[in-house]
């Protein structure tokens, strides 16, 4: 959105927010069931849907699809509100009405829209947040079933149509609970648009639950002002969410945010998991009729979901442990083994060579004039050279040797072999595969089978120094080896002195 459009939406949003308290005060004076109260209720609702229609049109096309679904739901809800108002003003007292069909159908686009937002934010790949939402939703479904659905479904004084529609609303409210928890527990940035959407969803969940309670207590003869205000907040907050600048960034994937098991989330899951069981115990102790089968089934399923969540956490811990272990063993730039891993592998290779009697050669490779390369081409080019050289040397060693980054532009190689001449030629051939027209110097030593591993490495380092001072781009061997006449870019054919 450009600044002028954003400023225009901001002004409209401020005006929309101002209508809420004004209409609430006017409704309180006129009465929620009066014709004036009915019309006043529609003012912020219609204004919110109009604002959202304009705001959604200005969201970038690539990120507009979920918002279109949400807008479609709001339009359907507004249509239902208008039908209800017309029937109410006409004195219609029958129930259900055509407005109820529209209300129930509107759950489809709002569900698609919220789930699409969650998927684009990366939520579909987070099994943990899905399990969290299922635990809370199942707990709510169990309680709704016991206290709302069962009493309505078994009420023989009502017609089948009334019972079907009456039970459809609490089932839809359970769906709202799932959508809200899925949104809050999922990954992604917690932008202003996110919190406005979450707040609007929470407002309608609270209002719907309150309406269900009132239906059970007094038959829902009247709708209190606070409930109407919450439903109005649902429309207004959704419109404000679409109007904010962060609406277009709401679908950006940021999986590191909102994916952890925080203390508030843990408390929520614990309460949700034990609530049906506590209700079952309370009803039993109080001597009230207890729908044991429903509560027991919900409790068992909750235990299964909690076990699945624990298993998922264990899988995450194992995966993170593997990743941390890999990071501790490898160089982050080149992917080669780091110096700590080199020290371990050197000791292990020496122990193996002492047991088998096979020769063990230690080599140090140093990229020539690397600082000048860095200074002339930039550090990014230097990093690319290090990565490309690592890949070339790894391929040349073909899995027989062990390559590690020793530090800076210096690398170390372990090569077990019984063929001294062949080993020297093979190590010298590594000079020919250095990419980007660069060269390297090589220093080689052989472990004598009894000395400390560090001694062989020190002689290889001395040989490398000799190669560097001798003109670079060559291989130099420690005194215990036959020194090759290597110089220039070609591998040596004869390593004899």
In a domain, 483, yes or no: no
pLDDT, residue 79, reads 96
Residues paired with residue 410 on neighbouring β-strands, in sequence order: 366, 407
Query: From CA 281, how far away is CA 148, in angstroms rounded?
Result: 19
* 75-111 confidence digits (pLDDT tens): 999 999 999 999 988 888 788 889 999 999 999 999 9
277 to each of 31, 141, 271, 496, how far by Cα in Å? Answer: 41, 13, 10, 84
Between 399 and 115, where is the model more confident? 115
pLDDT for 489 equals 41
Count of structural domains within the chain:
2
The answer on pLDDT for 174 being more than 80 is yes
423-451 tens-digit pLDDT:
999 999 999 999 998 999 999 999 988 89
- Please report whether residue 495 resides in a domain: no
Least confident of 2-6, 57-61, 337-341, 409-413: 2-6
Tens of pLDDT along 302-333?
999 999 988 988 888 888 888 777 777 888 89
Do residues 166 and 308 both lie within one domain?
yes
304 & 403 share domain: no
Q: Scan for tokens 């919450």, then name that residue.
A: 230
pLDDT, tens digit (0-9, with 9 covering 90-100), for 12-42: 777 777 777 777 777 666 666 778 888 888 9
Please give the pLDDT value at position 446: 93
Indicate whether 288 and 346 sit together in one domain: no
Same domain, 375 and 320: no
Q: Higher model confidence: residue 378 or residue 154?
A: 378
For residue 135, the cross-strand partners are none
Structural contact between residues 424 and 472, judged by C-beta atoms closer than 8 angstroms: no
- Do both 428 and 313 map to the same domain? no
Q: What is the pLDDT of residues 268-308, one digit of tens each?
A: 888 888 888 888 788 778 777 667 788 888 889 999 999 99
Residue 178 to residues 115, 181, 241, 251, 489: CA-CA distances in angstroms? 10, 5, 20, 19, 67
Give a yes or no: residue 485 inside a domain. Answer: no
The mean pLDDT value of the chain amounts to 84
195 within a domain of the structure (yes/no): yes
Q: How far apart are CA 237 and CA 363, in angstroms?
A: 67
Does 303 share its domain with 204? yes
Number of H helices, E strands in the chain: 16, 5
Q: What is the pTM of this model?
A: 0.68
Q: Is residue 48 part of a domain?
A: yes
Same domain, 59 and 97: yes
The residues near 320 (Cβ < 8 Å, ≥ 6 apart) are none
More confident position, 147 or 11: 147
181-227 pLDDT, tens digit each: 888 888 777 889 999 999 999 999 888 888 877 777 766 567 788 88
Q: Which residue is listed with tokens 């919190």? A: 195
Note whether 114 and 250 are same-domain residues.
Answer: yes
Q: With the C-alpha atoms ordered 104, 85, 147, 230, is the resulting torsion angle positive or negative?
A: positive
pLDDT-based confidence at residue 4 (cuts at 50, 70, 90): very low
Domain boundary among 324, 347, 372: 324
Q: Are residues 351 and 218 both part of a single domain?
A: no
Stated length of the chain? 497
pLDDT of residue 9: 67
Range of the domain at 466: 339-477
In a shared domain, residues 69 and 111: yes
Q: Report if residue 488 sits inside a domain.
A: no
Instruction: Please identify, among 263, 297, 324, the residue that sits at the C-terminal boundary of a domain.
Output: 324
Q: Read off the CATH number of the domain in which 385 is found.
A: 3.30.70.270
- Which of the four pLDDT bands, split at 50, 70 and 90, describes residue 8? low
- Can you say whether the dihedral through the CA atoms of 392, 394, 397, 399 is positive or negative? negative
| 118 and 33 in a common domain | yes
Residue 115 lies in a domain: yes
| Same-domain check for residues 353 and 252 | no
Q: Which residue bears the tokens 């004036």?
A: 36
Residue 437 lies in a domain: yes
| Upper half-sphere CA count for residue 193 (Cβ side, 13 Å) | 22
């Amino acid at each position: 959105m450009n600044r002028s459009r954003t400023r225009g939406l901001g002004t409209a949003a401020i005006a929309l927010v101002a209508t809420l308290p004004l209409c609430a005060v006017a409704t309180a004076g006129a009465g929620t069931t009066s014709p004036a109260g009915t019309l006043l209720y529609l003012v912020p609702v219609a204004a919110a849907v109009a604002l959202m229609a304009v705001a959604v049109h200005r969201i970038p096309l690539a990120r507009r699809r979920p918002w279109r679904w949400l807008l479609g739901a709001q339009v359907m809800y507004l249509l239902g509100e208008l039908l209800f108002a017309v029937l109410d003003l006409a004195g219609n007292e029958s129930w259900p009405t055509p407005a109820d069909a529209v209300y129930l159908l509107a759950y489809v686009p709002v569900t698609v829209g919220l789930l699409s937002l969650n998927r684009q934010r990366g939520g579909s790949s987070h099994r943990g947040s899905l399990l969290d939402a299922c635990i809370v939703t199942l707990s709510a479904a169990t309680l709704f079933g016991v206290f709302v659905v069962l009493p309505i479904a078994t009420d023989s004084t009502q017609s089948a149509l009334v019972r079907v529609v009456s039970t459809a609303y609490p089932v839809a409210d359970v769906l709202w609970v799932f959508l809200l928890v899925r949104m809050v527990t999922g990954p992604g940035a917690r932008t202003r648009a996110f919190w406005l959407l979450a707040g609007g969803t929470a407002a309608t969940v609270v209002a719907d639950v309150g309406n269900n309670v009132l239906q059970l207590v007094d038959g829902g003869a009247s709708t209190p002002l606070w409930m109407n205000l919450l439903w109005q907040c649902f429309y207004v907050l959704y419109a404000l969410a679409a109007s904010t600048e962060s609406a277009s960034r709401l679908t950006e994937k940021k999986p590191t945010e909102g994916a952890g098991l925080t203390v508030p989330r843990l408390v929520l899951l614990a309460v949700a998991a034990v609530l049906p069981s506590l209700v079952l115990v309370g009803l039993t102790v109080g001597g009230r009729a207890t729908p044991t089968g429903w509560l027991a089934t919900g409790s068992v399923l909750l235990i299964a979901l909690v076990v699945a969540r624990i298993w998922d956490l264990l899988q995450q811990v194992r995966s993170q442990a593997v990743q941390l272990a890999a990071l501790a063993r490898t160089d982050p730039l080149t992917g080669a083994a780091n110096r700590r891993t080199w020290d371990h592998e050197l000791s292990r290779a020496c122990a193996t060579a002492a047991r088998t009697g096979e020769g063990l050669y230690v080599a140090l490779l140093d990229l020539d004039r690397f600082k000048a390369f860095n200074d002339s081409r930039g550090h990014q080019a230097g990093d690319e050279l290090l990565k490309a050289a690592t890949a070339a040397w790894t391929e040349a060693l073909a899995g027989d040797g062990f390559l590690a980054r020793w530090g800076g532009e210096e690398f170390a190689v372990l090569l077990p072999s019984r063929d001294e001449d062949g080993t020297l030629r093979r190590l010298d051939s590594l000079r020919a595969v250095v990419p980007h027209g660069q060269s390297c110097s090589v220093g080689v030593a052989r472990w004598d089978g009894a000395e400390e591993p560090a001694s062989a490495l020190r002689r290889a380092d001395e040989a490398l120094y000799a190669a560097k001072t001798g003109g670079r781009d060559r291989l130099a061997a420690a005194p215990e080896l036959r020194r090759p006449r290597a110089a220039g870019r070609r591998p040596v054919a004869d390593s004899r002195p």
